[in-house]
Amino acid sequence: MIGQGIVLMVAGMVIVYAFLYLLIVVSELTSRFVSRFDSMVADSEQKRQTTKPHRGKRL
Say what the pLDDT of residue 9 is: 97
Say what the pLDDT of residue 48 is: 59
Say what the pLDDT of residue 36 is: 87
- Looking at the predicted structure, is the pLDDT value of residue 54 above 90? no
Kindly write down the DSSP assignment for every residue of 16-58, as one continuous string.
Answer: HHHHHHHHHHHHHHHHHHHHTTHHHHHHHHHHHHHSPPPPPPP
Summarize pLDDT for 15-39 with one digit per residue, the tens: 999 999 999 999 999 999 988 887 7
- Looking at the predicted structure, is the pLDDT value of residue 57 above 90? no
For the CA atoms of 47, 52, 56, 59, the dihedral, rounded to the nearest 10 degrees, stands at 170
Domain ranges of the chain: 2-37
Measured between its terminal Cα atoms, the distance across the chain in Å is: 82
Summarize pLDDT for 38-48 with one digit per residue, the tens: 777 756 555 55
